[in-house]
Amino acid sequence: PGHGHSSHKPNGSYGVILNRVVDLEHIRRSLELEKFTFVGHSMSGITGILYSSTYPEYIDKTVVMDSLFPPIKEPSEVVENLRKASDEHVNNSFKCKAYKDMDILAKAKSESTWYVGLDVELCKLIVERNTVPCEGGVKQLYDPNLRYSSLIYLTKEHYSEFVKSIKKPVLYLEGDKGIVSIMPRLKGLVEVVQSMNSLVAHEVIEGPHHFHMANPGSTAQSIENFYQ
């Protein structure tokens, strides 16, 4: 399940990142994979980290791109966050904006937080995969259940346990103008993770959050080296 033309979660599903570990295990069993390598970017990368910690016997290696850390909250925030997430779901508050045409949509995407630094033409490749005609032009297809706030988030202590449970090599590729530029509070946390588990390797790739599109050659070379 996911955005675009992928199957969406049924109504009544709630956006909790731990649910994606369950989804991935359903996929593994359906495909009858005894062992596999996981490569993921952004939220998919976070899913890979949580899955490789939970089901290490099925993982060979894991590559995550600009996404080593799941959203984390303090215990004191749990009640306020539950109210916020609940209201989003009940009010059905997520609406897809219409754009006159694909070019305007791609330009708007290139200027949005997670796509800053990515060429408009590359953004067009992304939006072409999940865009449909609508009144007023075109709009992107999103699964609202994955856009709302999570009902509950992990704490630092929860995440530490996941990191300590990693038993197979992990390569974390980070854009030099990527997630830390967007979320400065994450600066230095890679070193903290590596101090908890020596199986986590870290490399920096030139480019924004979507550096694998802006700089595919360097990205591919780093992944290839990791598998040698």
Instruction: Single out the residue of 142, 22, 12, 154 nearest to residue 86, CA to CA.
Output: 12
For residues 125-147, give the mean pLDDT.
88
pLDDT in tens, 162-220: 999 999 999 999 999 999 999 999 999 999 999 999 999 999 999 999 999 999 999 99
Q: Which residues contact 57 (CB under 8 A, 6 or more apart)?
A: 35
Instruction: Single out the residue of 179, 60, 228, 209 nearest to residue 220, CA to CA.
Output: 228
Return the higher-pLDDT residue of 51 and 72.
51
Confidence of residue 10 (pLDDT cuts 50, 70, 90): confident
Q: What own/partner pairs with CB < 8 Å and gap ≥ 24 does 46-51 have?
A: 46/17, 46/70, 47/17, 47/20, 47/21, 49/162, 49/163, 49/166, 49/170, 50/17, 50/18, 50/20, 50/21, 50/162, 51/20, 51/21, 51/24, 51/25
pLDDT for the residue numbered 183:
93
Instruction: Single out the residue of 117, 114, 120 nearest to residue 147, CA to CA.
Output: 114
> Could you give the CA distance from residue 184 to residue 179 in angstroms, rounded to a whole number?
8
Q: Which two tokens stand for residue 113?
A: 């937080």
Confidence of residue 1 (pLDDT cuts 50, 70, 90): low
- Name residue 178's amino acid: G
pLDDT exceeds 80 at position 155: yes
DSSP codes joined into one string, 170-192? EEEEEEEESHHHH-GGGTTHHHH
Bridge partners (DSSP) listed for residue 39 = 63
pLDDT for the residue numbered 15:
67
For residues 30-34, give the mean pLDDT.
97
Return the higher-pLDDT residue of 150 and 217.
217
pLDDT exceeds 70 at position 41: yes
